[in-house]
Amino acid sequence: MTASRRLFLKSAATGTLLAPVTLLTGNLARGEESALVVHPPDHKTGEVIRTTGELLPTGEFLREERRLVPVAGASEVLVCGGGPAGIAAALAAARSGAKTQLLEFAGCLGGVWTAGLLTKILDAGNKSGIMREILTALSERGSHVAKETDGTVYDPELAKRVLEEMCVGAGISIQLHTLVVGAVTDERNRLVAVITESKSGRQAWLAERFIDCTGDGDLAAQAGCQFDVGLSENCECQPMSLMALITGLDPIEVEPYLRETESAAKQRLYQLMQKAGINPSYKAPTLRYLHDGIFSLMTNHEYGVSAFDAGAISQATINARKEVFEIVEGLRKIGEPWARIAVVATAEQIGVREGRRIKGRYALTGADLVAGLRHPQAVARAKFPFDVHALELSGNPDVVEQYRKRGVKAYDIPYPALLSAEVDNLLMAGRCISGDFLAHSSYRVTGNAVPMGEAAGTAAAQSIAQRIMPYELEWKTARSNS
């Protein structure tokens, strides 16, 4: 029985038994294979659907044969990416009554907050709704530092737990360890399914509305949307940084170097490092006290790394981890109060500041931020400055410095910037929304990603209930966050 089933699955994977099922742009050929009995891979016994293919003569490509992809779930709203934007999108959709599925690549929810060990939530002070709920939970359940900072300086482990509780409590179906690798659109160019890869093999997920919260805009790219990357056609992006947790310091003795003490603390720490012969690749190293002898440290930049190149990201991660350890060892050699400094953890995911900015129905610009844009369909009001971490070790191009000098006036993030210009049932939230390089350097912070996610999730659910497309929905600014 098992052997024959194995054979059957293998031949199904090569496509020899079936009429083809379109997994590229085009109709899903529902029913064409209805006469066939196909078993999904067995997650208990470890059965898989095998891949077969043919190496092309050039050796540069392998043609994978068409194969069946089991449908793992059908929801009303499918959220891809469970970072700050994604959890808010899923929570808002589920609380609005939509059957909601959340897919996340890491082994936890929270994105850069948790897998990235961020420890600071910026531009959140004026936000209500889900952002306020999270801050309250992190503050009430967190350390005295979390309380003193209204939850904006938080413990990433507690954040993992809080986010899981909130999402489970809202009835969201969650699958971690799952990477979105493909998307299927229909003849109207609307998304029909998302394809994932995980320990369960390749899976398909159906939904009515899709929200790209992958940070890098992976889903929108797979759906064929247009996008921009970086400052110019050369795609220069902000550097990546690997965050670390540190211990072995006395918070009173190192107080002058703590970011929450005063902004000059970063410069002080940099000078201390230089005196000790340490030359960090990030010239504004940031040390934060979290709780009970645990600190967070951001002290490195990896320049010129593409968010879409797994090999380059891997190398950047290895370089950055080496640099973190070298810096900590260098600080230890200074002696008291650094004599016992040690690394507790480095982030599982190097912090990626920039990926794709997906073309939306409105593109937020640097000029909008300078002017303090007011928009009738605002989902949030942001205040964070232009924050472009040096594109290269030597610094930033003039255009960036000019904008930085002109400064940001509190501005609205418009709902249409969350709507794909090309795929009607696709929304975006977080750092992959529609905007230019300079605007992104401000709106990308997590105090804005959360209200964007909340708006996208609410709009997705409401548009289903009203039987209209998200772009036909009139977003009511009255909700919150302005």
Residues near ligand FAD, by CB under 6 A: 80-86, 103-106, 111-112, 115, 118, 120-122, 179-180, 213-216, 218, 241, 243, 351-353, 430-431, 444-447, 449
Please report how close the Cβ of residue 38 comes to ligand FAD at its closest, in angstroms: 25
Token digits of residue 1: 């029985």
Residue 160 or 431 with smaller CB distance to ligand FAD: 431
Residue 12 or 88 with smaller CB distance to ligand FAD: 88
Residue 152 or 377 with smaller CB distance to ligand FAD: 152
Residue 87 or 192 with smaller CB distance to ligand FAD: 87
CB 9 within 8 A of CB 39: yes
Which residues, 6 or more positions from 414, have their beta carbon under 8 angstroms from its beta carbon? 362, 364, 373, 375, 377, 378, 379
Q: Is 345 exposed, middle or buried (0-12, 13-18, 19+ CB in 10 A)?
A: middle
CB 110 within 8 A of CB 84: yes
Please report how close the Cβ of residue 133 comes to ligand FAD at its closest, in angstroms: 16
Please report how close the Cβ of residue 197 comes to ligand FAD at its closest, in angstroms: 9
Counting Cα atoms < 13 Å in the Cβ hemisphere of 418 gives 37
Token digits of residue 479: 């909700």
Residue 103 is inside which H or E element, if any? strand 100-103
Please report how close the Cβ of residue 432 comes to ligand FAD at its closest, in angstroms: 6
CA distance 301 to 282: 5
Token digits of residue 470: 């998200």
CA distance 40 to 52: 17
Please report how close the Cβ of residue 170 comes to ligand FAD at its closest, in angstroms: 17
Please report how close the Cβ of residue 408 comes to ligand FAD at its closest, in angstroms: 15
Please report how close the Cβ of residue 119 comes to ligand FAD at its closest, in angstroms: 7
Backbone angles phi, psi at 182, to 5 degrees: -165, 165
Residue 18 or 172 with smaller CB distance to ligand FAD: 172
- The helix-helix angle for 129-140 and 446-465 (nearest 10°) equals 130
CA distance 279 to 413: 38
Specify which residues 155 forms β-bridges with: none
Please report how close the Cβ of residue 67 comes to ligand FAD at its closest, in angstroms: 20
Residue 105 or 437 with smaller CB distance to ligand FAD: 105
Rounded to the nearest 5 degrees, what angle is found at the Cα of 160, between the Cα atoms of 356 and 194? 40
Residue 21 or 305 with smaller CB distance to ligand FAD: 305
Residue 119 or 425 with smaller CB distance to ligand FAD: 119
